[in-house]
Amino acid sequence: MSMPVLALRGLTIFPNMLLHFDVGRDASIRALDRAMSEGAPLFLVAQKDLSVSEPGFADLYPIGTISQVRQILRLPGDNVRVMVEGSTRGRLLDLVRTEPYLQGEVEELEEPVQARNTPRTEALIRSTYELFEHYVELSPRMNGDVLIQVMASDDPGYIADYIAQNIPMRVGDKQAILEELRPVRRLEKLSQALSRETAILELEHDIQGKVREHLASSQRDYYLREQLKVLQSELGEGEGDSEIQEYRDKIAAAKLPEEVAEKLRKEVDRLAKQPYNSAESAVSRNYLDLCLELPWGKKTRERIQVEAARKILDAEHYGLRKVKERILEFLAVKQLAPQLKGQVLCLVGPPGVGKTSIAMSVARATGRKLARISLGGVHDEAEIRGHRKTYVGAMPGRIIEGIRRAGSCNPLLLLDEIDKLASNIHGDPASALLEVLDGEQNATFRDNFLEVPFDLSDVLFITTANTLETIPRPLLDRMEVIELSSYTDEEKLHIAKEHLLPKELKRHGLKKSQLRITDDAIREIIRGYTRESGVRVLERQLAAVCRKAAMSIVSGEGKRSNVTAGTVETVLGPRRYHPDRRDVEPQVGVVNGLAWTQVGGEMLQAEVNVVPGSGKIELTGNLGDVMKESARAALSYIRSRASRLGVEPNFYKTRDIHVHFPEGAVPKDGPSAGVTVATAMVSALTGIPVRQDVAMTGEITLRGRVLPIGGLREKTMAALRNGMRTVILPADNMGDLEEIDPDVRSALRFIPVEQVDEVLANALLTPTAQSVPPELGQVPEQSTQPRGTVDLKQ
């Protein structure tokens, strides 16, 4: 049938329901007038998009309600208030006109009739009653009469329509209920929607209750505090606030310098004038609490006894004789002159040699409390000096925080990894440490957070670093450097037996009788499974052995594990590091050099090959700029003395020289390979072989002088480890031989040199015939006699 159509925005009307609403669109008012004047039914249908002002057929839902207009009331303006009553559901088939109002073809939909409710339907109705009753309790806008009207009916379709009409729901949910013609299924959909709406109301009540409770508590606290202030003012007890008085008592009881006490008293007075819950009062409380936690004037009794300290250092560390002597000298001076201040020790050495543990032993030996401060990666000056207390989350710097943790004014502060400091736009933390480590300034150190001076002159500072190259010179000038070199294999053996193995046995719950490791097994672990200056990797390998032993005992394979040199590979797997394959016979153009690395000394062979060409020099092996310059300096030296060395004078025009250092993936740099490259070049150009039981190190100049180098202790260890018998070193390094391990010193023969000619005389062999240089690719007959009797200057 054809009838006027009224598009509803945000509304849905159900059959057998009364609904009044306002109409403002001109087309909707004309449709109402048409239906009212003719007494015709009106089709009410919801539109899909509320923003569409002139909806078409596609903008309307297909199912709506055929209704009767009961009343129209003209309101001031252009609006009309209408009351309608839904009759039956209908389907919009088409819109026959859109002007001046919507007219459509509507099909009336018949609902299936259910003669009698089944038990399942009755259960669904009762469940819906309970849900709706709970909803009415939660909803403040719901009238109790609606609940009575619902409970008076047992028609599931009517119940669903009535509840859906009277509760606020989304238009899509109401439309889904309207489009469902089966009464029981319609009630099921309503029950689901009603459960969701009830859960939402419960959450709203819970949130509102918490908000009201919080507001009531805050208001109650505020009113009570204001009343308390008034009462105290009336009784003349305005200064009697317990918190303020507690701060005053703490300031009076603490032994504070007058400047500090005055500053804190002013801060307490400022706190007393501020509201309790204000942000400023929180900042003041945090400041006062932290200042009063600092150990103002509290000192631990320092125990300075050199013999007691010697026993502690010897018991906890093996070797390190020079380091222990220097620390004991430092303590001896403190014992004779306790007032001496400003000494800062800097322990420098490769990783794992015991720098941090030495500092901890010093703290135990002196009876000072220890606070460790890690400086690795610190790039903000505020990490040292702190932030201004007005910033959100402000805290003092790491120095003051370390003092607070130690609980003493004279602790030992261990500044770990001082060479790892960085700088950025927030400042340079190394510059902030200048005042901390300067004995003339740190008595009045001012942290940005404290804003008052704190005396650091009684603090014993010990810093650790892996290298001195990255430490700024002004900062390094304030510290006394103590170098810790790498351990020899025998020292590692003693450390493993006396310290590491007992520690790992205890950690893994093993007894000494349950795991026995021979000395040869430990030596095999050191040489085949570790390559380091310290003992950290060795400790991990011993832990792996302990784990294997624990697994063997728990699984019942045996009550005891014995590890020997022959069984290490079955426990730890294949050997990781193999000794370098070294030619025993003399070689032409191959020289054994010595290099220093962060994990100890290494033997580095230099290989030189000469081929016909145009005088080019090729340098390979991942060499740095300094090492390349050393090779070119050696070439210039050889050219200047070609005739005396037995080299063709024009070799730099007719020969190409290729200098190579094996293990090209490893970067190499430094000037100490100068004599090695020069010797290899002379050997390759003259065809004279080089002794392979000789290793050398030294920097070279254009005139052939041999300059001193560093890292001699590690380099000599590498020479002994690789089977060398003789080490050629600069004469200026002879004084460093005192630092070398006695076992190494007794096993090697050292030859000091001042000129490259002396190096060649001791490294090259005397050929049987040296009338003319050999042709390229030919190796002359060799003699194993040293060349020391041949004068290369002739």
**Spatial separation of the C-alpha atoms in residues 452 and 757, rounded to whole Å:** 66
Q: Look up residue 362 and give its two tokens.
A: 């010093």
**Spatial separation of the C-alpha atoms in residues 147 and 739, rounded to whole Å:** 100
**Spatial separation of the C-alpha atoms in residues 238 and 726, rounded to whole Å:** 89
Q: Look up residue 498 and give its two tokens.
A: 């006396």
Residue 10 burial class via C-beta count within 10 angstroms: exposed 0-12, middle 13-18, buried 19 and up: exposed
* DSSP reduced 3-state for 103: strand
Given the residues 67, 408, 630, 672, the one annotated as active site: 672
Which positions ≥6 away from 414 have C-beta within 8 Å?
Answer: 356, 359, 360, 363, 370, 371, 372, 373, 462, 463, 464
Taken as a whole, the chain contains a residue count of 794
CA dihedral over 130, 135, 137, 141, signed as positive or negative:
negative
**Is the Cβ–Cβ distance between 388 and 503 less than 8 Å?**
no
Given the residues 334, 369, 492, 715, the one annotated as active site: 715
Q: Which long-range contacts (CB under 8 A, 24 or more apart) does 54-61 make?
A: 54/27, 54/98, 55/7, 55/102, 56/95, 56/98, 57/92, 57/94, 57/95, 59/7, 60/5, 60/7, 60/92, 61/92, 61/175, 61/179
Q: What are the beta bridge partners of residue 593?
A: 604, 696
715: annotated active-site residue: yes
**Is the Cβ–Cβ distance between 569 and 660 less than 8 Å?**
no
Q: Kindly calculate the radius of gyration of the chain based on its CA atoms and give it in whole angstroms.
A: 47
Angle at 145 between CA 194 and CA 155, to 5 degrees: 60
**Cα–Cα distance list, 723 to 63, 221, 285, 491, 730 (Å):** 99, 84, 69, 19, 21
Q: Name the packing angle between helices 321-336 and 306-316 (round to 10°).
A: 160
127: annotated active-site residue: no
**Cα–Cα distance list, 177 to 30, 63, 200 (Å):** 29, 11, 20
Active site amino acids: 672, 715
